[in-house]
Each structure stands twice: as structure tokens, then as C-alpha cells.
Amino acid sequence: MEAKESKTGNKNKIKIIIAVLIVIVIGVGLLFFISNGSESKDSDDAIPPATDNVQSVSDDWRECTFELDGADYQFPCTLSVFEKNGWTIYSEELSEKSKIEGQGLREFDLKKEESTIKVLLANTSGKSMDINDCTVYGAVADLSELPGLGLSNGIKYNSTADEIKAAFGNDNESADDNTFVYRDEGKYYCNYCIETENGKCTSVTFGRLGTAEYNKIY
């Protein structure tokens, strides 16, 4: 009788162990599924990283690529990209050793020989970062003093209003005949403001930043 009860008890224990194992396996499977689903969603929503290696200037202005003194760039990029091409910080307040506070914004000049361009820089993280690791997302340029700057589809200093329209389209948001404003909002927020004088391109303010990052700092 005791032997029979012992066998029954062992069978029950085996059933319990099997049940526990099944629960564990199902639980691990669910965790794996949830984890993968979460990673996939994060990947879909993630902002593309700053682009530091650009091969050519795109014909699509929304890509925000441009040529500057023979080198190709794309916003957003890191400040170090400009420095590799011979540009240095030209500011009384900032240097290559400066740190930028979390969510901090800066506007300052970069200089290369006799050329100067004002860049817009952001630290989109929540902590202090070296200035060289921060994101350059835009620029302001007087093209009469920076003839080496070329935008999408060859737009540069003295390009005509008709050439600007051909390159950027007819969706000009400005009511001023001398100003051309183009904007695009998707995964990136991209914006151009091109100024003309006597029908010729004279200056441009333009930039591009991940929309989620843009909304954090503005």
C-alpha cells in the first residue's frame, strides 16, 4: 500500500514539474516576443543618425546635402566633419574644448582662410557633451562672401529665381517675391529660406534635424 502511494506521489511530482517547465517555456517565449516587438517599434521610430560620410550632393533638397569649398556635407552632421575639412571655431565664447549642456543650442561662426559660415549646433541629449560630438543641424550663409557653397541642383550665389523654383519646386511658403521658403516634415524636419536681390540668390538659411529631436529642443 505504501509503495503504491509512493508511486502515485512520484507521478504527481512529475506532473507538477512538467507543468512548471511548460509555464517557464511559455513565459520565456512571451518575453522574447515582447522584446523583439519593442525593438522593432523602437527601430521604426528611431531618428537616423548624423551623417558624416557624404559622397555627393543629392538632387532632392529634402536630403539637405550641400557642397562647401569642394567637400560634400549633409545636415545633420557632427562638428568634427567641418574640422576635418579645415574649418575652425571662430568665437570668443567657444572653442574645440567647450562642452555644451544637455538640450543646449548654439550659433557661432566657422572660419577657413578668408571664408566664414555661421552654423547652428544642438546637443540633443540630456547630458553635457563635448562640442565636437554635438549635432550641426543648419547654417546661415551670405553667399556673396561664400561663393563656394552649393545647394541641391546647383543652386548657389547669383542663381536666378527661376532656377530656385526649378530646383525646389513651386511650394514656396513666402508671400515675398524676394524670399523662397521651403519646408518638409517627416522623420526629419527640413527647412530652407533663400533670399534674393534683383532676382539673384544672395543668402540662405537652411537646416535639417530629426523631427523628434527638433521638438525636444524647440
Instruction: Read off the pLDDT of residues 103-149 as tens digits, 9 standing for 90 and up.
Output: 999 999 999 999 999 999 999 888 999 999 999 999 999 999 998 99
Mean pLDDT of 182-195: 95
Q: DSSP character for 195? A: E
Q: So what's the pLDDT on residue 53?
A: 64
Residue 76: asked if its preceding bond is cis (omega within 30°), the reply is yes
Domain ranges within the chain, ordered by starting residue = 1-46, 61-217
Distance (Å, whole) CA 62 – CA 88: 27
Distance (Å, whole) CA 180 – CA 165: 8
Instruction: Read off the pLDDT of residues 76-102 as tens digits, 9 standing for 90 and up.
Output: 999 999 999 999 999 999 999 999 999
> What is the SS3 string spanning 43-98?
HHHCCCCCCCCCCCCCCCHHHCEEEECCEEEECCEEHHHHHHCCCEEECCCCCCCC
Q: Is the pTM of this model over 0.95?
A: no
Burial of 193 (0-12, 13-18, 19+ CB in 10 A): middle
Q: DSSP character for 160? A: B
